[in-house]
Amino acid sequence: MNSLGKYFELMLQNPGLFENKGEKGEIKIITDKKRILAEQKKIRTELKKKGNPTCWIDIGVLAEDQWFYVLRDMVEFPPDEKFPNGRVGGYIRWINRKSSEGGGINSVLMCVQGDKVLMIRKFRHEDRNWSWEFPRGFGEPGLSAEKNARAELEEEVGVSNAKLTLLTKIKEGKGGTAVFLVEIPDRQKIKLEKGEGLSKYRWVKMSKLEQIVKKGQLSDWFSLWAYSLYKNM
């Protein structure tokens, strides 16, 4: 099955992923196959004239695995000064399958021990770089937010006896993401999971973390989200 065929199969299986709200200013997904093909043909002609690859407007499921879909939709953009009648074009998006299809609840874990916060150094493939951040991970379908958090905690840092406090939980498709404050007992050893792209960890005093955030040195937005929630408890 080609990428467009997979796209329409996904649309039938999970129509919520293609929903238009009908509100002013939204970017509307075009779901009519004939119109998609007609718009695609026009844009391909324009791309070819400019010497650009025509695959830039391939619509459909561009890639998939057990974790993500990568889609390019044909969309209608809202009108603006340059395009008073709006314009039509392709728009790429990434969909977390664990959440949208299976109902998995992802975890973000701000781990503390007294006045110190645990930070792990993790290799992020998407950036091809290392990132100092809080532990986090995908949620497995069928587990509660807390059970997913405890599984992630044990997997990444080897902790199984911490106290968890839910800071927030948001819905994403059938699943979502939960942010927890994790109180790790004194003298508890940290054991990093070798297969997770983790190189080292450090305990940072809360006052030091505040300076790290103010200087823009905490770039992982999930960690920034957790820190913000903690500060407003």
Give me the domains of the chain, ranges plus CATH numbers.
3-100 (no CATH), 105-231 (3.90.79.10)
Total-model pTM: 0.85
Phi first, then psi: give them for residue 130, nearest 5 degrees: -90, 150
Q: Residue-wise pLDDT tens for the chain (233 aa)?
A: 799 999 999 999 999 899 999 999 999 999 999 999 999 999 999 999 999 999 999 999 999 999 999 999 999 999 888 888 889 999 999 999 888 877 889 999 999 999 999 999 999 988 899 999 999 999 988 999 999 999 999 999 999 999 999 999 999 878 899 999 999 999 899 999 887 789 999 999 999 999 999 999 999 999 999 999 999 98
- The residue whose two tokens read 């958090």 is 149
